[in-house]
Each structure stands twice: as structure tokens, then as C-alpha cells.
Amino acid sequence: MAFKWPLMKNNITVEDRNALIEFLKEDNILTQSQNVREFEKEWSEWLGVKYSVFVNSGASANLLSIAVIKHLFGTGEIIVPTLTWVSDIASPLNYGFKPIFVDINPKTLGMDEQQVLQKISPDTRAVFLTHVLGFNALSKPLLDELRDRNIPLIEDVCESHGASFMGRKLGTFGLMSNFSFYYAHHMTSIEGGMICTDDETVYHMLRMLRSHGLVREVDSERVRDFYKDSYPDTNPEFLFAYPAFNVRSTELNAVIARNQLKRLDENNAKREKNFHYFLANLDPDKYRTDYKTEGSVNYGFVLILKNADDKLCNDVMDTLINNGIEFRRGTTGGGNQLRQPYLEGIVPRDEYKNYTEVEHIHFYGFYIGNYPELEEKKILWLCELLNQAGD
């Protein structure tokens, strides 16, 4: 079906394609090489971190971050959101961690900080926090408490490139942060992801974990020599420090990403302007409009019914469908993850009932595409349609 208003439009431009064509005209290496290195450097400078490691998806970034937690701290519990993408929960499960779920803050769609703090236990190995749809989910009390308790924070910033808190970009607060460059996100490399950190040890681990656990992938001669001296009877070109993966990306993806990064800030400003215009013109008696938007960089128009109203909900969906407007019900990841079949046998069958805020999002929340080319008159047209729904 061709939508009049898709979730994403024109995210790979003629300029991006031309940059790739020019690259392909030369006799260049196509697998991971210099452009990957340059993109990692440019991304680190843009974000404000020391190290970045480019991988083939945001889900792979999630997986490697959890692998680091296991190798550094052992298995145990990881506190996770109920509203997130599946890989934020699948990654801990795949490494033998027990997911500890918390409900959301309806003002940010991120984890409820009081529940996070209440659920920290001696078995907590990390907090895996998702910044949903461009909102900031951090607070100073949460960061202070995690620091005081020495609990590592992983930030999932896959939907929130460029959003900020206390004057710093999201993705600079945790031990690690994860980004996705999937087609529909703020910027894209078609497929791709990034893991960022200021910790040198973590950085070396990530470089090895990305490529089969190979020691030769590490930048540090000191680290390479340590393994070489510790295993003198093994070819140093084929020393595998970890049982790892191959989640490398390619030069092709990096060329597109480097070109996209040049206009990310400009596009983000347009997205956020669009979102505020959308909220200003929605009927606040029907829809939630009182989000905490300071520092946000909107990924998709968040449309959440103020009250549980099945008639209005059905009318909203009919209105969107009949006017060719693509949407996702449940917002990020389809709503309450505790209702998903992959968690059967892992959490009690009716556990989802204990999380009332995300349950409301599951049934009465949506998101709609927001992209830089949107005109105000089109946003106003959408709001007028939505404001008439249910009448």
C-alpha cells in the first residue's frame, strides 16, 4: 500500500546516493575499512564521547553492550523498560540475565525512575534505559543514585539522536550507549548501529566482540601484546579473546552515514519544530499534550489518547487509514513487551497487568511519521482530522 503520509520519507537523498556512486567509481575496499574508521571518529566528535564502534544494526549494538556487562560483571539481573524495542530485552535473555521490568513515566515514555530505584537489588548488573521516540528519560536523581550505587547504565538512544539532558547529548551519560541507523531513524546508513563509550577497556572489548573476538581488531598495542605473550603458541593473527560475533558493517554503509551526519542537526531542528506545532494544535481534552519536551528531538508524532476510550481509539484508526496515514499502534515496539510470546515462561502469565501506564500506551497510543519536509499546513490538516475523531 502506498501511503500519502508514510512513517518516513526521503531519508536517503540524491546527495547520499551520489556520494555512494562516487565512492564505488574508485577501486576501494568495500568491507569495513577507512570510511568506517572516519565515521566512528566523526560520530564520537558529534556526540561528545571518546570512542565509537560501528556495527551492522542497533540490535547488534544492544547485544554487544550486554556481552560487555556479562564479561565485566557476570550474570544476574538487568532492569529493563516495558516500552522498548524487543532487542533491549532479548539481548539480556540471550546472555542469561533475568530482566526486571519497570513501568513508564507518561511524561517521557521512559522508565519510571522511582521504580528503577526500588527494583535495584544485590543482583543488579545494569540498568538498560530507552530514550523513546526522541524524549529524554534521564533525571539527575536517577543518575546520582546509579553512580552512588555503582550500577552501570546503558542508554538506548536508537530513536533519539541529538536529544539532550543538562546540556549534554543523550548517549554520553552511561557506561555505554547504543544508536541505530535504520532507514526510518533520524539518520540512516540503510542498516547500521553504533556503540559509544568513554571507557578504554570497554572500547577494546567492543572492537573484539564485533569481529569474532579477534585480538588483532584492538587498537592498543599493549592489549595485543598481552594476549600474544599470554598465548605464545597461538598465531597472533588468530587469537580469539571472546566467544563473539561477526556484526561488522561495510564501507558502503559508512559512506552514506557520513554524508547523512552533515545534515543531522538541521533536520533534527525541523523535526522538533514539527512536533511542537503538532502538540499545539491537538485537542488536549482528547489527547495527551503535556510531555516533558525539554531537550527532545522528536522521532515520530506521539499520539496518545488522554483517556481509555475505545470508540475514540477506533475512530482515530479509521481516520488515519482512510486518509492514507501510516501509523504504529502501541508506539515503540508495539506497546507492552510483557504481552509478547517470547516472554512466556519467563515472566508470570498475567504480569503485564501490574504496569498500568504502559498498558494504556499499548491500547491507546500511536505514533505517526515526522520528517523534515513536512509543511505546517499538512500538520494542521492532520490535527484537524484527529480533533474531529470521536465526535
- Euclidean distance between CA atoms 335 and 344, whole angstroms: 16
Task: Note whether 239 and 363 are same-domain residues.
Answer: no
Task: Note whether 117 and 210 are same-domain residues.
Answer: yes
Residue 1 counted as domain residue: no
Task: Note whether 31 and 65 are same-domain residues.
Answer: yes
154 membership: H or E segment, kind and range: strand 153-156
The residue assigned the cell 533519539 is 160
Contact 385, 303 (CB under 8 A): no
Task: Note whether 83 and 163 are same-domain residues.
Answer: yes
Task: Note whether 38 and 166 are same-domain residues.
Answer: yes
Sign for the pseudo-dihedral over CA of 63, 160, 99, 146: positive
Residue 347 counted as domain residue: yes
pLDDT of residue 1: 60
Compute CA distances 195 → 160, 167, 184, 257, 357, whole Å.
Answer: 14, 21, 19, 15, 30
Contact 270, 293 (CB under 8 A): no
**pTM confidence score:** 0.96
* Domain, as residue range, for 46: 14-261
Those residues of the chain that have pLDDT short of 50 are none
pLDDT of residue 346: 96
Residue 8 counted as domain residue: no
- Euclidean distance between CA atoms 296 and 164, whole angstroms: 7
The structural domain count of the chain equals 2
Task: Note whether 205 and 321 are same-domain residues.
Answer: no
Residue 242 counted as domain residue: yes
Residue at a domain's end among 261, 295, 325: 261
Residue 90 counted as domain residue: yes
Task: Note whether 209 and 354 are same-domain residues.
Answer: no
Residue at a domain's end among 239, 261, 283: 261
pLDDT of residue 321: 97
- Euclidean distance between CA atoms 363 and 218, whole angstroms: 47
Residue at a domain's end among 214, 232, 261: 261
Task: Note whether 137 and 247 are same-domain residues.
Answer: yes
Residue 27 counted as domain residue: yes
Residue 7 counted as domain residue: no
Sign for the pseudo-dihedral over CA of 108, 136, 88, 118: negative
For the stretch 287-327, pLDDT in tens is 999 999 999 999 999 999 999 999 999 999 999 999 999 99
Task: Note whether 287 and 324 are same-domain residues.
Answer: yes
Contact 246, 9 (CB under 8 A): no
* Residue 331, domain CATH: 3.90.1150.10
- Euclidean distance between CA atoms 65 and 167, whole angstroms: 25
What is the Cα 107 distance to its own chain's centre?
Answer: 18
DSSP class of residue 116?
Answer: H
Compute CA distances 103 → 132, 162, 355, 360, whole Å.
Answer: 13, 25, 5, 11
**Residue-averaged pLDDT of the chain:** 96
Residue 123 counted as domain residue: yes
Task: Note whether 125 and 206 are same-domain residues.
Answer: yes
Task: Note whether 270 and 257 are same-domain residues.
Answer: no
* Residue 131, domain CATH: 3.40.640.10
Task: Note whether 224 and 254 are same-domain residues.
Answer: yes
